[in-house]
Chains A and B, each alone.
Chain A
């Protein structure tokens, strides 16, 4: 049984505080749905737990089975059992999926994985995610569609078998069938490993497949409501505005970049 504990977490990005004292505990086997309007800190939380250098933890603690996660390098966090399925996975030309995954598996065990065992495991994951058989030989996420990138994140999760997997809008870019395939793979992996899950998604259908045991709503850098799966249903039918009234919080509206007018140049105005 493993435990991921986050206490009073404050995180800033470029001097702007995004998380303002967040508390959350996840145990093995639990499935936590993390919801909230865009721009309120969901992805920031996941990135901070994984150790993305763009995010600065200014206060608070994260522990994994009592060990200080914040004192670990990014790779150490992964080896300790954390996994982040990213919203925008990197494209890395020149590095094949199989080389990458083999290196990642070997990085966390004393003895390198045998080639036959590796191929067997990878084939199983590729088949489960119904991906093209040549995935192993393709460069990492290079030329992948949005959906393929997300499925590839789950392939990696299945191969690395983390204690806790964080999935950041892993359902975006997936069509209806792919959503079912990915959900089945996540469910199967969790049943096999008993990993804890922290899932960020905007869509109730994804949560219907994954059946969260806990649900939280994150507003302005704090978790303001926690409950069970019924919270997902409520958000799906009523949106987030009720939270402002019931919990006296203000939803952060995401800054939308406005198009910048470059003005008009060399235009002859009549009469000018």
Chain B
């Protein structure tokens, strides 16, 4: 399937079974892609080509019930801007590979992902933002919440090639672990072959703060609800990317129920 964004656009795209999707943004266009991997989707091969001076947000919502593999390739030209969100709270494994090519000066890519790893479900990600021109910007923020026996593996690679002056590569990963028996492996990589650059990475993996839990419980929330509320905070940056208020509220309620906010125990 091919979808082209021109002028001002807003495109909702549903993915079923195994599907290839080619998105393109034309010069000086600005808009939003909302891609939903429906219950029966098994794989998605997504290619996004951004022409110069185009701007878009792309939100990838996973609703798959079994298992899904997602490959994303992005080619970003001069002064193009993309903000991408990935929201995955499904009780199903997900393999996600992504390569972003910042081809020309001024290309700017930002990613925020929120993933929930329920018992025995494995979510793996292998992401790379490659800087192939100077004055390019890449930022990856990955958030994950792991419950009992949940598994999360994330390799995030910021790769700045030689000659890419003033390129910036930033990444942060925050993992909240709940319960027992979970496994989190996060590999932040910065491969830098140029001196005149800015780069950073931050990583935190840990249990909820006991004082925070006590504080929430002291206001009447059960332990499960408190953990749920703390977890929702990890998904809000992605949820807030949804422009449509009604849909934002629906997705938010879905996430809240998945993390146990409406549970009583």
Interface, chain A (partner B; CB < 8 A): 50-53, 73-75, 77-79, 83-84, 86, 89-90, 92-95, 99-101, 103-104, 107-108, 139, 156, 160
Contacts and interface: CB of A to CB of B under 8 A. Distances in A.
Contacts of A103: 221, 225, 229, 261
Interface in B208-244: 209-212, 214-223, 225-226, 229-230, 232-234, 236
Contacts of B229: 95, 99-100, 103
B218 A50 contact: yes
Contacts of A156: 219
Interface residues of B, number: 23
A69 to B, nearest CB: 13
B261 A75 contact: no
Contacts of B222: 73, 75, 107
A149 B199 CA distance: 35
B232 A99 contact: yes
Contacts of A53: 210, 214
Contact of B220 (A52, A79, A95): A79
A156 B219 CA distance: 8
Given A53-B210, A99-B229, A103-B225, A92 B218 contact: no
A90 B209 contact: yes
25 contacts: A51-B218, A52-B214, A73-B223, A75-B217, A75-B223, A75-B225, A75-B226, A86-B215, A89-B215, A90-B211, A90-B212, A90-B214, A92-B215, A92-B216, A93-B233, A94-B233, A94-B234, A94-B236, A95-B229, A100-B216, A103-B229, A104-B221, A107-B219, A107-B225, A160-B220
A212 B53 CA distance: 67
Interface in B187-222: 209-212, 214-222
Contact of A73 (B215, B216, B217): B217
A99 B215 CA distance: 14
A94 B212 CA distance: 12
A47 to B, nearest CB: 9
Contacts of A107: 219-222, 225
Of A52, A94, A100, chain B has the most CB atoms within 10 Å of the CB of: A94
A139 B237 CA distance: 13
Given A53-B210, A94-B236, A103-B261, A74 B218 contact: yes
A191 B230 CA distance: 34
Given A78-B217, A107-B225, 16 more contacts: A52-B214, A73-B222, A74-B214, A74-B217, A74-B218, A89-B215, A94-B233, A95-B230, A95-B232, A99-B232, A100-B216, A100-B229, A101-B219, A104-B219, A107-B221, A108-B220
